[in-house]
């Protein structure tokens, strides 16, 4: 069961202080998670990160650095974004325990990414829209801001507790418990689908980029919540292609 943790991916976006990266590495190693991906860190590698890691330098040395979040979540079948505030468009939301249960059910099948934002302002709406659902740590309302390493510690702790429960034959029930007959579409497949969908909606004059409102965000939420498998993804891509082809003939 411990090998499942190899599919758990901690993603830090645009971290400003290298000491926080070191603290995250320590929290990860404490709970048996080793896959760290850094999106455009402001300072890394750094001796400050090494010092704060307190023996988890191997996690730092093996960390992957990428320029965009899209690259950080490539290949993932489930992407979870941490969010400390409500949004204009509500997204499916879980607490850390529910998140761990869902992740544990999916780790045998594909990589699962847990995405953490900047220390001062978290993740942008566009970044959160790349996630299947959001996780909120229910800290006290009088002092709700968590240090980055502390937030990661909460998530990986719950993940480890779910793993230990499963080893005893008492795995927590995930929110999405259906066993699919096909693999789920990956994050990059979904992004290509959304790009194709937007092109098609523009072609049929259903969507006007000059007045976007919240149409694309709501459609994105719909399809990410639905958890498309690869065949369903291919069907939709085929529908969009056929729509565009027919439109060209009519014109």
Domain ranges of the chain: 2-167, 187-250
- Preceding omega of 45 cis (within 30 degrees of 0): yes
Looking at residue 89, its pLDDT comes to 73
CATH code of the domain made up of 187-250? 1.10.8.590
CB of 228 closer than 8 Å to CB of 236: yes
Looking at residue 51, its pLDDT comes to 96
Looking at residue 182, its pLDDT comes to 86
By residue count, the chain amounts to 251
Looking at residue 213, its pLDDT comes to 86
Interatomic CA distance for residues 54 and 236, integer angstroms:
49
Looking at residue 170, its pLDDT comes to 86
This prediction's pTM? 0.86
Q: What separation in angstroms does the CA of 71 have from each of 178, 196, 209?
A: 28, 19, 25
Give pLDDT tens digits along the chain (251 positions). 557 899 999 999 999 999 999 999 999 999 999 999 999 999 999 999 999 999 999 999 999 999 999 999 999 999 999 987 656 678 889 999 999 999 999 999 999 999 999 999 899 999 999 999 999 999 988 888 889 999 999 999 999 999 999 999 888 878 766 666 788 999 999 999 999 999 999 999 999 999 888 999 999 999 999 889 999 999 999 999 999 999 999 98
Q: Is the dihedral of CA 69, 218, 245, 202 positive or negative?
A: negative
DSSP per-residue codes, 68-119 = SHHHHTTT-SEEEEE-SS--SS---EE-HHHHHHHHHHHTTTS-EEEEE-BT
- 64-66 and 112-116 as β-strands: parallel, antiparallel, unpaired? unpaired
Looking at residue 172, its pLDDT comes to 82
The matching CATH number, chosen from 3.40.50.2300, 3.40.1280.10, 3.40.50.300, 3.40.50.880, for 2-167 is 3.40.1280.10
Interatomic CA distance for residues 28 and 152, integer angstroms:
7
Phi, psi dihedrals of residue 154, rounded to the nearest 5°: -60, -45
């Amino acid at each position: 069961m411990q090998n499942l943790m190899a599919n758990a991916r901690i993603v830090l976006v645009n971290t400003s202080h290298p000491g926080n990266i070191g603290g995250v590495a320590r929290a990860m190693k404490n709970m048996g998670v080793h896959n760290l991906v850094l999106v455009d860190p402001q300072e890394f590698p750094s001796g400050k990160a090494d010092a704060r890691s307190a023996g988890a330098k191997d996690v730092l040395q093996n960390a992957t650095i990428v320029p965009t979040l899209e690259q950080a979540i490539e290949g993932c079948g489930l992407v979870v974004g941490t969010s400390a505030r409500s949004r204009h468009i509500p997204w499916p939301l879980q607490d850390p325990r529910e998140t761990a249960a869902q992740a544990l059910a999916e780790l045998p099948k594909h990589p699962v990414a847990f995405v953490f934002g900047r220390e001062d302002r978290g993740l942008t709406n566009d970044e959160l829209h790349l996630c299947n659902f959001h996780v909120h740590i229910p800290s006290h309302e009088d002092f709700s801001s968590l240090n980055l390493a502390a937030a990661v510690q909460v998530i990986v702790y719950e993940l480890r507790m779910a793993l230990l429960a499963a080893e005893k034959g008492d795995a927590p029930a995930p929110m999405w418990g259906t066993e699919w007959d096909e693999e789920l579409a990956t994050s990059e497949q979904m992004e290509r689908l959304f790009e194709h969908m937007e092109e098609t909606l523009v072609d049929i004059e259903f969507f006007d980029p000059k007045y976007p409102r919240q149409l694309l965000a709501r459609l994105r939420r719909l399809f990410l919540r639905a958890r498309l498998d690869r065949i369903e993804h291919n069907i939709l891509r085929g529908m969009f292609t056929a729509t565009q082809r027919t439109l060209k003939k009519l014109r």
